[in-house]
Structure 1
Amino acid sequence: MNDMQTSAWDKVSEALKVNAAKLLPGQERKIRAIIGETLWEPLQHKNRKLFGKHVRADLSYYGLVFVRLAGTIAVYKKSCV
């Protein structure tokens, strides 16, 4: 990952953590929807995939739980814990 992608990754990671905390209980969203298009768009396709894997591996850090798959895209909701 180059410096620009690293910076975009950090911004996306922080936005996901903050916005996930703002989700209403029971509200389901895809990562892209939680983060927002303006921050998600600068990430390259391969880095979006890697970020999704990163989130799945560390759901508690972001305060999320896996709900289901919408096709091949994971859907999450705010953790109650």
Structure 2
Amino acid sequence: MNTLQTSDWDKASQSLKHNVAAMPLGQERKIREIIGEVTWAPLHRPTRHRFGKHVRANLEHYGLVFARMAGRIAVYKKSTI
């Protein structure tokens, strides 16, 4: 992974934390929708996949809980804790 991808990953992570905090309780969204297209677009496909796995492994860090699957894509909602 090059340094550009690392910084894009960091931006996506920060955006996810910030946007989850502003998200209403009970609302379900995909990671891509929470982060926003502008921040999501610079990530290459393998990086997107790894980022999704990272989020899934660290849900409490981001304040998320798993809600359901939409096809092959996980959908999350804001944690109440």
Same fold (TM > 0.5): yes
The equivalent of 1:76 in structure 2 is 76
Gaps of 5+ in 1: none
1:69 is paired with a residue whose SS is strand
* Distance in 2, Cα, partners of 1:74 & 1:22: 20
1:46, distance to aligned residue in structure 2 (A): 0.3
The equivalent of 1:48 in structure 2 is 48
Deviations 1:19-59 (A, max 9, x none): 01111010000000000000000000000000000000000
Q: How does 1:2-81 map to 2 (within 5 A)?
A: 2-81=2-81
Which ranges of 4 or more aligned residues in structure 1 deviate by more than 3 Å? none
* Distance in 2, Cα, partners of 1:25 & 1:4: 33
* Distance in 1, Cα, partners of 2:71 & 2:21: 25
* Distance in 1, Cα, partners of 2:72 & 2:30: 11
The percent identity for this pair of structures is 63
1:73, distance to aligned residue in structure 2 (A): 0.4
TM-score, with normalisation over the residues of structure 2?
Answer: 0.99
Gaps of 5+ in 2: none
1:75 is paired with a residue whose SS is strand
